Amino acid sequence: MYLAIYPESPSSTLTAAVLAAGFQPVPVASVADAARKAPADGWAASVVELGDAPDLAITIAGKLKEELGIPVLVVVDRTLTADLDDAAGFDDFVLTPVDRIELRIRLARLGAVDEVVGTDPVLRFGDLELNTATYQATIAGTPTDLTYMEYELLRFLVENPNRVWSREQILSKVWGYDYVGGSRTVDVHVRRLRAKLGEERSSWITTVRSVGYRFG
């Protein structure tokens, strides 16, 4: 899946996040350049980094959406969010530094993540459903508000039931090998998940003393 990235020289952190999220970044210098470089099956979406020229970038974002008809995700430093107040022409935005998981979630909500033909994108356990294409969770048909790390942790547990995982294993599998936080992060997120699952379902996540957790 190809993403049109503006400006033509995006930051290395954005490029790394796009690649880690499973997309192929294609830098473009203008709307006309994006039209020339468009792949045969079209752009999955466009990502516009406001950078040092936010006004120009917002103008480009609007033209990408209006003239090429592709979803536009804007990347903005939190100190520049005021520039978005009256802005139009983009579908969503993320703050820097860009996280690969949040990036993929945002793009999925814009329809940029393809579902694999013949594969059900929904994971189920009891009355819990996790839609891996849209990153949405429901319990008994009711949408459940999860942060993206809570979602990723719950998804990992649902995909790997009836097995004991140490906190260190969960950290490496869900947060990544380069995560520098402590294992208490897992405990905090498990506690939050249990609360959001509700009293009837909190027992799905079992604490294995001196080891870690088991789901199922």
Written in H, E and C, the secondary structure of 103-138 is: HHHHHHHCCCCCCCCCCCCEEEECCEEEECCCCEEE
The one-letter amino acid code at 29 reads A
Q: Is residue 116 part of a domain?
A: no
- Which residue, 68, 79, 108, is CA-closest to 92? 108
Tell me which of 85, 109, 133 is where a domain ends: 109
User: Helix, strand, or coil here: 206?
Assistant: strand
Per-residue pLDDT of the chain (216 residues; tens, 9 = 90+): 799 999 999 988 889 888 888 888 999 999 999 999 999 889 999 999 988 888 899 889 999 999 999 999 999 887 776 656 555 678 888 888 888 878 888 888 887 765 433 446 788 999 999 988 778 899 999 999 998 889 989 999 998 889 999 998 998 888 875 555 677 889 999 999 999 999 999 999 999 998 999 998
DSSP for 151-191 reads: HHHHHHHHHS-S-EEEHHHHIIIII-TT--S-THHHHHHHH
Indicate if 23 and 100 belong to the same structural domain. Answer: yes
User: Helix, strand, or coil here: 29?
Assistant: coil
Q: Is residue 114 part of a domain?
A: no
Residue 105 is part of a domain; what is its CATH number?
3.40.50.2300
Q: Is residue 39 part of a domain?
A: yes
Indicate if 138 and 85 belong to the same structural domain. Answer: no
- Contact in structure between 37 and 45 (CB atoms under 8 Å): no
Distance between start and end Cα atoms, the chain: 34
Residue owning tokens 């048909």: 141
Q: Rounded to whole angstroms, how far apart are CA atoms 135 and 127?
A: 17
Q: Is residue 50 part of a domain?
A: yes
Chain centre to alpha carbon of residue 172: 18
Indicate if 188 and 104 belong to the same structural domain. Answer: no
Domain that holds residue 130: 122-215
CB atoms within 10 A of CB 109: 17
CB atoms within 10 A of CB 9: 12
